[in-house]
Amino acid sequence: MDEEIRRLFPVTHNYIYLNHAAVAPLSLPVYERMTAHARDVLESGLVHWREWGEAVERVRELGARLVNAQPEEIAFAPNTSAGLSMIANGIEWRAGDNVVTADCEFPANLIPWRRLERQNGVQVRMAREYEGRLNIDEILGLVNERTRVVSLSFVEFASGFRNDLAAIGSFCREHDVLLVVDAIQGLGALELDVARDHIDAFAADAHKFLLGPEGAALLFLGPRAIERVRPTVVGWMSVKEAFAVNNGIQEYAAGARRFEPGALNTCGVLGLGAAIELLSSVGVGRIESYLIELGDYLCARLEDKGYQVISSRKKGEASSVISCRHPRHSAQSLSQHLEAQRIITTARVGRLRISPHFYNTIEEMDRLIECLP
């Protein structure tokens, strides 16, 4: 990518940062947008609250455009976990219903569904990861007449496996099942189209591949999800006329905004907006192509050095999350060794996880390989 892009990420002066699947460093545009808002509150209190509201709505539009949704289908949630919990808790479950997911999901996309087992008599059915992959036939084979939801990650956090959401989503539509997606490990690095992929709902906090701050998540609910998921955490902002504060009974706001019960993390949302603007200025399609090429290069070099690459590099399955392991060195010791060389990665489930973004370079991949034992 262009040197001009790298200059927007001051982290490059200090580290080779390859841990975007955990928490991404902020870019200058995001930092400056958030700092400007904080200074406004510092100097003026709520005087400019109308401008804040207009700015938040622009971010809603940006988020919608990013995934080919409508603005009214986008809400802002505190994080991915909260968004997924809102969906899980909002469905009117019956004992004997089931949810289909996978045993390799991050806990954010398992705990909300497992709670339903204890409290609602809902069965959680899990496809099994095998050698870093999920088998789509196994996933779809778990769906039966009592399945209400299939809930999977866009990209699996520990393997980097990219699920075929379009095929799964098409099957779910045919069988009248909601497709719910934990999108945090792909959104911003890979193209996501909720219409093409038949996604009914997703949640994704900003602090990974979206390159935004923590605590500002996009929550998407399409028409089928709005029809079937009722708000369970509600407040004065959940209704149609939020500023008609007369304590009268009101209908919920149209669309996804009913899932915003109160004051937003305005500073975080505005930072998210700056992050989406940056990604959109480059083009997520261009970013995806670059990251797949960069990842293929890295995986080839890892294998040449004796590392086993867990992550699938098959077309449609590859992502920007790359996991590997070594027969003699633990993932934790490898991550610590690299950090001592100012290369930031992490260990997950016994694997070294490397997750670059579009400002990382081939030269940085070469330096990583050079530093690995």
- What letter would DSSP give residue 91? B
Class of 33-281 per CATH? alpha beta
Query: What tens digit of pLDDT does each residue of 231-242 get?
Result: 999 999 999 988
The pLDDT score that the predictor gives to residue 373 is 96
The pLDDT score that the predictor gives to residue 8 is 98
Report the pLDDT averaged over residues 57-82: 98
pLDDT grade for 244, boundaries at 50, 70 and 90: confident
pLDDT grade for 1, boundaries at 50, 70 and 90: low
Query: What tens digit of pLDDT does each residue of 324-353 get?
Result: 999 999 999 999 999 999 999 999 999 999
Q: Quickly name the fold that domain 3-26+283-371 has.
A: Aspartate Aminotransferase, domain 1 (3.90.1150)
How many whole angstroms separate alpha carbon 36 and alpha carbon 28? 12
Residue from 179, 190, 186, 91 nearest 143 by CA: 179
How many whole angstroms separate alpha carbon 158 and alpha carbon 107? 12
Chain Cα centroid distance, residue 356: 15
The pLDDT score that the predictor gives to residue 343 is 98
16: three-class secondary structure by DSSP: strand
Query: What tens digit of pLDDT does each residue of 163-172 get?
Result: 999 999 999 9
Count the neighbouring beta carbons within 10 Å of the beta carbon of residue 126.
Answer: 18
User: How do the domains of the chain map onto residue ranges?
Assistant: 3-26+283-371, 33-281
If phi > 0 it is left, if psi is from -120 to 50 it is alpha, else beta; for residue 342 that is left
The CA-based diameter of the chain, rounded to the nearest angstrom, is: 69
Average pLDDT value for the chain: 97
Half-sphere exposure of 373 (CA within 13 A, CB side): 15
Residue from 173, 175, 117 nearest 146 by CA: 175
